Amino acid sequence: MHGVGLSLGGTDPLSNPYLAQLKALVHWAKPEVVSDHICFASVDGSYGHDLWPMPHCEESISHLASRIAQVQETIGRRLAVENVSSYVSFQSSTMTEWEFVGELVRRADCDLLLDVNNVYVSAHNHGFSAAEYLSAIPYERVVQIHLAGHTRENGYLLDNHGAMVSEAVLDLFRAVAMKCPEARVIVEWDEKVPPFEKLLEEVHRVEQSTQVESP
Ligand SMILES: [Fe+2]
């Protein structure tokens, strides 16, 4: 079960009606993973239906960790949180995104949904190394991996979930998959969705990308 509406990083109180419905749905569906994003999505009660990035600092970590604890306590299960792609950064950030994500999941004692395309997109947009980011991830906490396509606009990469997974992202994924072989992999494609056969082809392409070639 993958959510976009918890607004874990927001300053509005977590929505009790939302949490109650989430708890009921989780108990009914018994999903393998329950996840949402490391972001804020509402301000003063208005939801933006988007995943806005957090400043990477101690204050964000303690704020997010206490809200993740509240969610985990309410639903009676571990939550996996996902790294988002971003197009802005904050002057108040005091650490790298990978330091922030690693420290957050340790402090919140939650799981990580690692979106490899989001790492690649943000690395390009902010000029950091995706490989350095991925080398610092606590892989024992990764329960799910996301892959997706992106587009290029005015020199920036946009995570639009509307294209095939790029070869560069597949290269990163190969290394990631070896570090957490138990993690389930999802290819996200929810814009310009092609015929089902094309989606299946993409799943097979991703599956084959991790197969070791025989000599
Ligand atoms: Fe994702």
* 17-35 confidence digits (pLDDT tens): 999 999 999 999 999 999 9
pLDDT for position 145: 98
Instruction: Give distance in angstroms: CA of 190 to centre of ligand 1.
Output: 11
Mean pLDDT value across residues 5-9: 96
In angstroms, the CA 9 to CA 82 distance is: 12
pLDDT tens readout for residues 122-134: 999 999 999 999 9
Distances (CA, A) of 57 to 85, 91, 93, 122: 17, 10, 5, 17
Amino acid at site 95: M
Tell me whether residue 5 is in a domain: no
Tell me whether residue 43 is in a domain: yes
Instruction: Give distance in angstroms: CA of 185 to centre of ligand 1.
Output: 10
CATH of the domain at 29: 3.20.20.150
Q: How confident is the model at residue 62 (pLDDT cuts 50, 70, 90)?
A: very high
Instruction: Give distance in angstroms: CA of 214 to centre of ligand 1.
Output: 32
Instruction: Give distance in angstroms: CA of 119 to centre of ligand 1.
Output: 10
Considering Cα of 155, then 157, then 163, then 167, what sign does the dihedral take?
positive
Tell me whether residue 141 is in a domain: yes
Checking if the pLDDT of 42 tops 60, the result is yes
The total of structural domains in the chain comes to: 1
Tell me whether residue 10 is in a domain: no
Mean pLDDT value across residues 44-57: 94
pLDDT for position 211: 82
Amino acid at site 121: V
Checking if the pLDDT of 212 tops 90, the result is no
